[in-house]
Amino acid sequence: MAQKLWEKSVQINKDIERFTVGRDREMDLYLAKYDILGSMAHITMLESIGLLTADELAQLLAELKDLYALAERGEFAIEDGVEDVHSQVELMLTRRLGDVGKKIHSGRSRNDQVLLDLKLFTRAEIRDIAEAVEQLFHVLIHQSERYKEALMPGYTHLQVAMPSSFGLWFGAYAESLVDDLLFLQAAYKMCNRNPLGSAAGYGSSFPLNRTLTTRLLGFDSLNYNVVYAQMGRGKMERNVSFALASIAGTLSKLAFDACLFNSQNFGFVKLPDECTTGSSIMPHKKNPDVFELTRAKCNKIQSLPQQIMMIANNLPSGYFRDLQIIKEVFLPAFQELKDCLQMATYIMNEIKVNEHILDDDRYALIFSVEEVNRLAKAGMPFRDAYKKVGLDIEAGRFIPHKEVHHTHEGSIGNLCNEQISALMQQVVDGFDFQRVEQAEKALLGR
């Protein structure tokens, strides 16, 4: 059985070990390739300050590249008796290279290792999320343009209110994603700062070159103060989770709308048959299960910041084992949100729209505001026009004119989709993912 990195002469009670390790080994598999990548940058720096020879660095980098490829293929495993991913990597290097493998931990603590791993993992996942959001955005803009002439009721208090359009409905969710992505970009920029070299939170007596590891890993800058670097554990996850929750909030609302509009009482849209399921006793049923599950999953993601805050809120500065539990709620959330984005993108691309909703007389009163405005434009004071139309409705004399003439920015006749698309492109460009990609490829020799 492998010895713990910190273990000396006293062996820990097995029940205590099970309790303290918890699901950490399982969670660390999310971080494996990022731990290896971080180690490659760290040892490159160690060689530059004379703590490794050029030959030792070459041997270690070759082995670490092999381990990275193993992790990329999903074949990296943490063995029984090995505490975490850091221990497993060092163990595998030591088996292959002997004492040279034991040198990679100089100037590091598992505290700054896991800080680094979490940041490298998170920035990669943020890129995946951003790209998935952008795909959904383009589908929504396309559908907004496709159905910009198709009118639908707008609601306040779930009462029919004023004319809207599917151009507005699709486009509204597209613009919501722009703000969500801007929030995600802010979280990304806070994430993309290098904590490596902070060690256990108080730095190191080795002459570490933290600027070098920052450049090698493609970070925007350092977490300069080593105490603050450690204080960032939990804070980074909370900030990113707020951004994920913002995207999830948009998806949840979209899913709710789609489920409502798909119901027979509305009949505004038809969801793809392959995205619905049947009933065990009612042969006519086509339940919108995909969007119902999307709504539930996204509502769960919206609770993520609160979960993280409740774990980290009452901790002073310094490292505490409480922070380990954040991994269990944070790391899996990215895939869950990506799944929801993928489903929403597919359904929004395939959804069918009823383009003749307002032919139904039940929606006649939706044009009352249009009539008030028509009278006001003809010279009648607005309050008098409002009263006249209201009295006509009460007396059953109101006859709707079903044409709408909205021309101002962001209205039915002027959706501003080009401007919204330009905003989205500006946000996407602001991430500058390519710089990180180039740095990682250079470190891996690709």
One-letter amino acid identity for 163? P
Q: How far apart are CA 74 and CA 32, in angstroms?
A: 9
**CA–CA distance, 201 with 181 (Å, rounded to integer):** 32
Q: What is the pTM of this model?
A: 0.92
Residue 259, token pair as written in the block: 């489920």
Residue of 48, 106, 109, 157 marked active site: 157
What is the three-class DSSP state of 276? coil
Active-site annotation holder among 221, 279, 303, 317? 279
CA distance 122 to 262: 36
Please write down the long-range contacts of 425-434, taking CB distance under 8 Å and 24 or more positions apart.
427/178, 427/181, 427/182, 427/185, 428/130, 428/134, 428/181, 430/185, 431/127, 431/130, 431/185, 431/188, 433/127, 433/130
408 included as an active-site residue: no
CB-CB contact of 252 with 298 (8 Å): yes
Specify burial of residue 395 (Cβ count, 10 A radius: 0-12, 13-18, 19+). exposed
pLDDT at 283: 62
Region for residue 412 given its phi and psi (left: phi exceeds 0; alpha: psi -120 to 50; beta: otherwise): alpha
Token pair for residue 34? 């990022």
157 is catalytic: yes
- CA–CA separation, 325 and 43 (whole Å): 29
- Between CA 211 and CA 157 the distance in angstroms is 56
Burial class (CB in 10 A: 0-12, 13-18, 19+), 417: buried
Contact 34, 124 (CB under 8 A): yes
Distance CA 260, CA 242 (A): 27
Give the pLDDT score at 4.
Answer: 53
Name which of 147, 117, 157, 318 is nearest 232 in CA terms.
318
**Rounded CA separation 289/302 (Å):** 20
Q: Where are the alpha helices (DSSP H) in 283-359?
A: 289-302, 304-312, 324-330, 333-350
Report the C-alpha gap between 361 and 246 in whole angstroms.
38
Tokens standing for residue 189: 């920029």
8-state DSSP, 205: S
* Mean pLDDT of successive 10-residue stretches along the chain, which has 446 residues: 50 69 77 96 97 97 96 92 90 95 94 96 98 98 96 93 95 98 97 96 96 98 96 95 98 96 92 75 76 95 96 88 91 97 96 94 92 93 95 93 90 96 97 96 92
Output DSSP code: residue 165: E
Q: At what angle do helices 289-302 and 304-312 cross, to 10 degrees?
A: 30
Alpha helix stretches (DSSP H) within 73-107? 85-97
Q: What span, in angstroms and rounded, lies between the C-alpha atoms of 259 and 267?
A: 10
Q: Which amino acid is at 234?
A: G
List, in order of start, the domains of the chain with CATH numbers. 14-106 (1.10.275.10), 111-145+164-355 (1.20.200.10), 358-409 (no CATH)
Residue type, 342: Q
Q: What is the dihedral angle through the alpha carbons of 304, 112, 213, 122, rounded to the nearest 10 degrees?
A: -10
What type of residue is 190?
Answer: M
Q: Using an 8 Å Cβ cutoff, are 151 and 404 in contact?
A: yes
CB 266 within 8 A of CB 148: no
